[in-house]
Amino acid sequence: MTFGPVMRVVHPEFAVTLAPPRRDAMPQLVDGMSRMSVTRYTVSRFGVGWTPEDAEKNFDDLRSAHDGIAWGIHVRELGDGSQSGAGEPTRLVGITDAFSITNGATRVATTGSMIVAPDLWGRGIASACHRARTWYLFSVLGFDALRSVYFSANTASARAVARVGYVQVGLHRHGGWYRGEALHDVITECVNPSDAAWARWWGEDPVPPEFVAARERTRAALEWAEQHVELL
């Protein structure tokens, strides 16, 4: 998997950077990836109980794959009155990626993201990273559509992808199981709102009204990224 270029994302509390992770930084993910409170909606796919060696192997797997783009999510807390967070430690807190890329009549990728630090949940970091990744894939690389799959009980992921314009297009039942609860795979799609990509994707088919509304959310996300994301 190719590592994506460095992107700095403006955030009111943190210096957020999407960048290739260092192999020796991957063990920073071990604590989060060993907690069921963090991995409960990914356990059937990735397992639990990481070791530093598992983290480094994950880096090697990302680096050697040929059908995707990945970034490490790096966060540094801004000091009082600081706009750079200089002097504060930088943490690798997660991974965001686009994989299973197809290059046929249309260009499509499946996207995923995970922040393993619970103290950073609900603070707008994941949403900012979703917007940055969507902007890069649509506005820079010109993908026609993106897909994402999450467990039905994962309401945080549902809200995050909906904000940038993903719409549910399917449901695969019994994708996982947690504490006696069946977890179903929700399949979603987000279409590039540009006129050319929109026409290529829908052709002569009528556009479902939920996608018409989602197009405006995607446009808003891309406009936000134009103002808040710096591609280095």
Q: What is the pLDDT of residue 176?
A: 82
Q: What is the pLDDT of residue 47?
A: 54
Give the global pTM.
0.91
Q: What is the pLDDT of residue 81?
A: 47
Query: Which domains does the chain show, CATH number per domain?
Result: 7-231 (3.40.630.30)
Torsion sign, CA atoms 53, 36, 146, 129? negative
Tokens of 50: 């990481």
CA angle (114, 119, 121) in 5-degree steps: 45
Euclidean distance between CA atoms 73 and 95, whole angstroms: 6
Q: What is the pLDDT of residue 129?
A: 96
For the chain, 232 residues long, the average pLDDT of each consecutive 10-residue run is: 91 94 93 86 65 90 89 86 57 95 94 94 94 98 97 92 97 85 93 98 97 98 97 94
Strands (E), the chain: 2-3, 7-9, 14-19, 69-77, 90-103, 107-115, 145-151, 167-178, 181-191, 229-231
